[in-house]
Structure 1
């Protein structure tokens, strides 16, 4: 198979390209060359998709499959225009396209946000609308029978530079205070869904081979936050106590939800957002998506965290000093 990966140096795109090469496919990655090297065995074409003819170097080639991870509607519209001769197109979308994130267990038929009218997503505030516009461009430009839309949930596993899945096993393995106590939010029933990047990439490559069409929620198995914390403690061998804090206390002390500076990753206190991590993945599993146990994902992510340095700058979580200051305040 001749596979064109629009990306291939960032996390998911790199893993897709790596696995496709490993399965014997001829892989070409089109990137700006800013996120790192492409996998061994793949070909690289440097290009800027902001340019109107940014895909000119690959548009005359016949591709068996194209995989696109962009969030910019203009990028996707131009790709659909220039790569129309490809047999098959996979667009990696997001569960952020859904209009309502409150109800649990919603499937692919749930209402969507209106597509972004602009070709450029200026801020992450319109991420869902931008991805919806990208989906619309693919489906209308190529036809539903020639493409697949994968609405991806939270991705985890080795290489998680966002820090959302690495924080908890890392912190339990490396507590901030001497007695091993770790600060956690009081949200035991909060749903959490993590799909391992390796499982997602394997499924996407498999679908490029078989040219599966349709729209799918590519999400992990749903666990409660308590189950996720227990799995993280187990892989880290944590024997300390949990300092459990209510949402009001955490907010009062400046602790953020989900990700970003001074945050507790994966935590959401607003019920109107808790369905975001409780999407039905039955259609994707019926189409061959195989998911490894959560413990394996967290264990491998912990190994990656430690191999790359636990003191590296983080995009999610509390620093050691921040947590060490908060725990005594909780009493």
Structure 2
């Protein structure tokens, strides 16, 4: 097949391109080239997707297209430039498109956020932007030409968001002298990840089979304490864990999920009881397979150590902050 990846130099896009090359496909990546290089065997075409003219370097038709954009403008320009040249589109959306995050086990029929209007985008309207992309594709191409993959939290080596690398790195190299790690006491919180390599493999398969439809794409659900224990065992942590309640973390102004002074993967309950407990049964029935969490943790830690664990991070507590908080939490 001749496959076009819109992107191909970032984390997931590069994995998609690499997977398609490995399977023997001709892979062309359209990108500005600012996030890195395309994988060996793929061809990079430079282009700025903010205008239709940015696709001018692409020649001929393609059998399938895979897109990871978050910007509705990019979806519209791609449709105008390529809508008649590609019979099948695979779009990587997000479970952030859903309006309700409090209902565990919800499937693809759950209500969506309103679509973002206009071109003014920010992370605060990430979900609304993905909804706008989804709707534009289906309206322009028809549902039988589009696969919408609503990905859950993507994990594994290469996680530039720093969310899924935080716990493996912290448990492998605790900040405190006695090896203690500060952990949210969240026995009822569900946790759900998908290794980026598994997601990429399934998306390329969907492109090969011209599969259409809407699918939540994530891994199995486990409780947060089970996730923490898997990480501890995988990296060999033997120090104590200091459990702190949600109310205490809020009093200490520790943020959930991501950002400065945060604890990744921790989410407040009950309003986020369904955020990482969505049903991926439909995707599993259509071939989605995920590797054991321990493998994702191990490989993610290796990548963290290789790329510089002391760098400024986009999520998590700094060692200094954690030591300070541990001092407050322990008698």
Q: TM-score band, normalised by the shorter chain?
A: over 0.9
Q: CA deviation at 1:80?
A: 1.5
Deviations 1:130-167 (Å, cap 9, x if unpaired)?
Answer: 11110011111111111101001100000011111111
Tell me, yes or no, if the aligned pair for 1:108 and 1:217 is still in contact at 8 Å.
yes
Q: Gaps spanning 5+ residues in structure 2: where? A: none
Aligned length: 329
SS in 2 for 1:232: helix
* 1:84-95 correspondence to structure 2 within 5 Å: 84=83, 85-95=85-95
Which residue number in structure 1 is paired with residue 8 of structure 2?
8
Q: For residues 59-81 of structure 1, what are the alpha-carbon distances to aligned partners after superposition, in whole Å with 9 as ceiling and x for unaligned?
A: x5210000111111111012112
Cα distance in 1 for residues equivalent to 2:111 and 2:251: 35
CA–CA distance in 2 between the matches of 1:81 and 1:47?
A: 15
Match of 2:17 in 1: 17
TM-aligned CA deviation for residue 254 of structure 1 = 2.1
Name the CA distance, whole Å, in 1 between partners of 2:56 and 2:150: 28
Counterpart mapping for 1:203-222 below 5 A? 203-222=202-221
Q: Considering only aligned residues, what root-mean-square deviation do their CA atoms show, in Å?
A: 1.0
2:176 counterpart of 1:177: yes
Pairing 1:125-140 to 2, within 5 Å after superposition: 125-140=124-139
Using structure 2 for the length normalisation, give the TM-score: 0.97
Provide the TM-score with structure 1 as the length reference.
0.97
Q: Deviation digits for residues 271-307 of structure 1, max 9, x if unmatched?
A: 2122111110000000000011111111110111111
What does residue 196 of structure 2 align with? 197
**1:57 to partner: Cα distance:** 2.2
Shift of 1:270: 3.4
Partner of 1:239: 238
Separation in 2 of the partners of 1:253 and 1:115? 35
C-alpha displacement of 1:52: 3.3
Q: Which moved more, 1:102-111 or 1:300-309?
A: 300-309
Q: Does the alignment pair 1:103 with 2:103? A: yes
The answer for unaligned runs of 5 or more in structure 1 is none
Residues 1:114 and 2:89 aligned together: no
Please tell me whether the aligned partners of residues 71 and 121 of structure 1 are also in contact (alpha carbons under 8 angstroms). Answer: no
- Residues 263, 316 of structure 1: 8 Å contact kept: yes
1:135-174 paired onto structure 2 within 5 Å = 135-174=134-173
Deviation at 1:178, TM superposition (A): 1.2
Moved more, 80-89 or 258-267: 80-89
Q: CA deviation at 1:121?
A: 4.0
Aligned equivalents of 2:73, 2:35: Cα separation in 1: 21
> Where do 1:17-36 residues align within 5 Å?
17-36=17-36
* SS of structure 2 residue aligned to 1:276: coil
Separation in structure 1 between the aligned mates of residue 107 and residue 300 of structure 2, nearest angstrom:
28
CA contact (8 A) 1:73 1:121 kept: no
CA distance in 1, matches of 2:73, 2:209: 28
Instruction: Indicate whether 1:73 and 2:72 are aligned.
Output: yes
Measured in 1, the distance between the counterparts of 2:325 and 2:73 equals 45
What is the rounded CA distance, in whole Å, between the counterparts of 1:188 and 1:236 in structure 2? 21
The list of structure 1 runs, each at least 4 consecutive aligned residues, that deviate by more than 4 angstroms after superposition, is none
